[in-house]
Amino acid sequence: MNVFAGVGGGGGSAGKEAGTVGGGALLELTPHKLAVCHLVQIFAPPPQAGVSAPALPFPFESVSHHNRLGLFLFALTREPPLVELLRQLKAVDGLVDDWLSDKLTSNLSALNSPDDLFNFFDELRGVLSAPEGASVEDVFLDPVSQLGVFLRCCILSFNTMTFEGVCHLLANLVEYCNSADTSYGLVEDEDFNSEIEMSNFMDANVHVRDGIFDKYNQGYAPGGHIGEGSSLVHAPASLHGFDEANTFKTDDNPSPTCLRSRWQLEAYLNQQADVLEKDPSSVPLNSFNATMSQLQKLAPELHRVQFLQYLNALTHDDYVAALDNLHRYFDYSAGMQGLFSHITSPFQDIIVGKYESALLCLGNLHCYFGHPKKALEAFTEAVRVSQMNNDDSCLAYILGAISNLLSKIGMSSRIGTIGSPYSLGNNIGLGTPLSIQQQLLVLLKRSLKRADTLKLTSLLSFDHLSLAKFDLKHVQRPLVSFGPNASTKLRTCPADVCKNLRLSSRVLTDFGTDGSSNDNGSFSTSWLRNLSAASNSWCSRSTKSRKLLTNDFENFHFHAQPSPIPASVLQLAGSAYLLRATAWEHYGSAPMVRMNSLVYATCFADAASSSELSLAYVKLIQHLATFKGYSAAFSALKLAEEKFPSSANSHIQLLKMQLLHERALHRGHLKVAQQICDEFAVLSSSVSGVDIELKTEARLRHARTLLAAKQFNQAANVANSLFSTCYKYNMQVENASVLLLLAEIHKNSDNAVLGLPYALASQSFCKSFNLDLLEASATLTLTELWLALGSTHAKRALSLVCQSLPMILGHGGLELRARAHIVLAKCYLSDPKFSVSKDPFAVLDPLNQAAEDLEVLEYHEMAAEAYYLKAMVYNNLGKLDEREEAAASFKEHTLALENPCNEEDSLAY
């Protein structure tokens, strides 16, 4: 087995690391590097002649245990003191009673002379040489892997040392070992958590060379900045009181200030950016701004402070402050901290890497606050500047941002949306302007092609997700839709959706190939943080925010190997599973929705933002409401509200209102239902085209409320207006639901003839977009309309309901299954050739099942219909006791529907 062969992209990554080493960052031998070399020698011991190699080196108990040490060594890019190294090693070494720590300290202490160092490096060469006749099952270190390159550089550096340099290294090694006294005490398991690890990470080795600190600026500063004369800053001992990780905490220094390196400050800013993304409600607006302002005074060259203030204002919906901080960030950075700084242009000092990225951020700001026209103006200008400066990377991201904007907002204009037809392809050369959907498809494919060419792995994954969303709700029509070769396909393709979702998940395996993960040390620091969390996941969490950001399922596999994949990559991979759940919800497969939501909530909870994680919880709670009833759903909702505060999470708030509205309609509490509809309307933005899906749902629920109140004319007017709006914004999937609602309105108003065209149109839409479960529901409505036309259509109605039963019974919820059972019974009872006395169970079995399901849902109107039919059947059979029991239940539900009491209880749960 070739240990860590090709880690980080194979030979390309190794070559890059070797270049870094050659630049002087790692070639200078230090005691810390000697300690790492000793651990590498333990990890991959040299082969012995005539002795068969064991399956695993001593003292490792499993492959997972062995790999944990390898990943730990791979993550050691900084140089902590020996005590700190031993603390980190304890998390890996816990399974073998601290054998690795004792072995390391004894080996280092045994190096007493230059000859000992020479012998050690001579033995170290054996680690890199594969034994003769080695098979793939043998464990040896690949010389071109990350650890192999590291060892080769250390050996090369030692070979080029003078005798004085070797003596100096030996003296430093003695001092390094003396820093860890023999009486040092390793912390207990419950003390070794992410807070202590991050605190020590911030306090360790503030005297490391400036070049290593500058390496951690994540590409925002390709060179030194004006005014950066020193890499150390007098920072306050406690800048901000976050419970998750106080990175400026000091244990030994009681003074109010202490020296902090630029690298430490950058790490602090990165951490706060993660907190703002994952749980913005835990970050107070004013105190965070005060902290950032204080840090800005202490280190004026850290312009990313303004960017964090912009993110803070953005997450707290402060438009004025967000816009002001964004302008200040790009003004003060003087073009040196643009998002894309690798472009070569004669105008680089003026605009390259700054202006187009500033416009990109400005467009995202307007998109967030619901200003689509201003966002498109900013994106269009960004496209022009990027093309002028040949900034391909920024252009690819801008195209992705525009496609994301067009997929979220509604636009009725068919021309002049994007701006210049020369830049984005509004025109196909035939004088025919493209529709919004065609423009969106062109943008997505163009962004995908650029991302693939430039090896932008994250953007490539995002574009695949966007294409999957597009394929889910749009029929891809050819740009030239005439002629003998024109396609006649008018259906969406689920296979294309699955293909793009599968390709987007490749970001998990391709994230290191573009070299982006090796530029800033984020791989190493994130792995060390995950290692700390995995080693102590059984410890109690003391703060609410810690419980929010920690994966509850870690408690069941805390000995598993922690993931070295960065959080941003995990977020993209997790989004694929979340979109899979949405796709299966769209197609009508409830088990697949539940499975993908559980996968996301289980495997990606640590990296997910609170918004995305709450969406997974929402899907699981909706599944409970559909299949278990409202009691189970509201019990789960209470737990979700504790985990995600409703005031800060729109998904949980919307779910609560949806469940309350559904229950109010089922109970017949129409005043409460109308009150919730009004609250739905208030939540949406007043800007045209923004929150269009929320506005559609609010009006759809309003029409359903009017239908339940038997105000058929008003319900039909609302539904017709909603259909026009959906057609205007090309929301074809929503049109299927609106058409089905119109069919229901005409059915309940005893106008079946007018309802038939709407039911057939809805069924046609469902087939075009593969809405299988909604199509089954439309088929039931069509069946009821045929039954309303007379008993002569009973056979046709029975054929239709039997056609939809497999889908409904396999994937439908309690309400849809109960409705199907009632319709099936009505088909039999309407057939003049059917005799109840000959086959009573053909009617009674579905009616009993329907009554049982409707009791769970408290659906009084439909339950009354089921008990009425049961009473009629028992009367024909002469079973008077059963008839009276069914009649009593019918009366109970009818009275509850006609005389609703305690309507306020519908708002409590």
HEC letters along 688-745:
CCCCHHHHHHHHHHHHHHHHHCCCHHHHHHHHHHHHHHHHHCCCHHHHHHHHHHHHHH
Tens digits of per-residue pLDDT, 805-857?
Answer: 999 999 999 999 999 999 999 999 999 889 888 889 999 999 999 999 999 99
DSSP 402-416: HHHHHHHS-----SS
Mean pLDDT of 333-362: 57
The span from the CA of 240 to the CA of 290, in Å, is 9
Q: What mean pLDDT is reported for the chain?
A: 74
DSSP 777-842: HHHHHHHHHHHHT-GGGHHHHHHHHHHHHHHHHHH--HHHHHHHHHHHHHHHHH-TT--TTT-THH
How does 734-746 read in b/e, with b if 16+ C-beta sit within 10 Å?
Answer: bbbbbbbbbbbbb
What token pair was written down for 846?
Answer: 């579905």
Tens digits of per-residue pLDDT, 376-386?
Answer: 889 888 888 88
Tens digits of per-residue pLDDT, 20-39?
Answer: 333 333 457 777 777 878 77
CB 21 within 8 Å of CB 91: no
What is the helix (H) or strand (E) element at residue 2, kind and residue range? strand 2-3
Residue with tokens 């069919």: 743
Q: What is the DSSP letter of 256?
A: S
Residue among 823, 726, 812 nearest 774 (CA): 812
**Which residues fall within 8 angstroms of residue 321, CB to CB, at 6 or more apart?**
309, 313
518 pLDDT band (50/70/90 cuts)? very low
The span from the CA of 529 to the CA of 183, in Å, is 27
The span from the CA of 573 to the CA of 263, in Å, is 29
Helix-helix angle 31-43:146-159, to 10 degrees: 130
The CB-side HSE value for 594 (13 A sphere, CA atoms) comes to 12
Among 389-403, 477-491, 631-645, 884-898, where is mean pLDDT lowest?
477-491
Tens digits of per-residue pLDDT, 83-103?
Answer: 777 776 776 555 555 677 777
Residue 565 vs residue 683, higher pLDDT: 683
Among 134-138, 586-590, 670-674, 675-679, where is mean pLDDT lowest?
134-138
User: Tell me, what's the pLDDT at 520?
Assistant: 41
Q: For the purposes of burial, counting CB atoms within 10 Å of the CB of 106, is it exposed (0-12), middle (13-18) or buried (19 or more)? A: exposed
Q: List the end-to-end C-alpha distance of the chain, in Å, as a whole number.
A: 58
What is the helix (H) or strand (E) element at residue 381, kind and residue range? helix 372-388
Tens digits of per-residue pLDDT, 762-794?
Answer: 999 999 999 999 999 999 999 999 999 988 999
Q: For the purposes of burial, counting CB atoms within 10 Å of the CB of 555, is it exposed (0-12), middle (13-18) or buried (19 or more)? A: exposed
Residue among 695, 784, 785, 702 nearest 734 (CA): 695
What token pair was written down for 536?
Answer: 């102590």
The span from the CA of 504 to the CA of 824, in Å, is 43
Among 199-213, 321-335, 457-471, where is mean pLDDT lowest?
199-213
Give bridge partners of residue 782 from the DSSP assignment. none
Residue with tokens 């065609």: 438
How does 335-364 read in b/e, with b if 16+ C-beta sit within 10 Å?
Answer: bbbbbbbebeeeebeebbbbbbbbbbbbbb
534 pLDDT band (50/70/90 cuts)? very low
User: Tell me, what's the pLDDT at 761?
Assistant: 94
Is the model's pLDDT at 799 over the cut of 60? Answer: yes
The span from the CA of 243 to the CA of 545, in Å, is 7
User: Tell me, what's the pLDDT at 796?
Assistant: 93
User: Tell me, what's the pLDDT at 212?
Assistant: 28
Give the phi and the psi of residue 831 in degrees, each rounded to 5.
Answer: -80, 120
The span from the CA of 274 to the CA of 549, in Å, is 11
The CB-side HSE value for 174 (13 A sphere, CA atoms) comes to 8
Is the model's pLDDT at 494 over the cut of 60? Answer: yes
The span from the CA of 329 to the CA of 559, in Å, is 43
Residue among 80, 248, 221 nearest 520 (CA): 221
Is the model's pLDDT at 211 over the cut of 90? Answer: no
Cα 530 from chain centre: 18
User: Tell me, what's the pLDDT at 811?
Assistant: 93
User: Tell me, what's the pLDDT at 169?
Assistant: 85
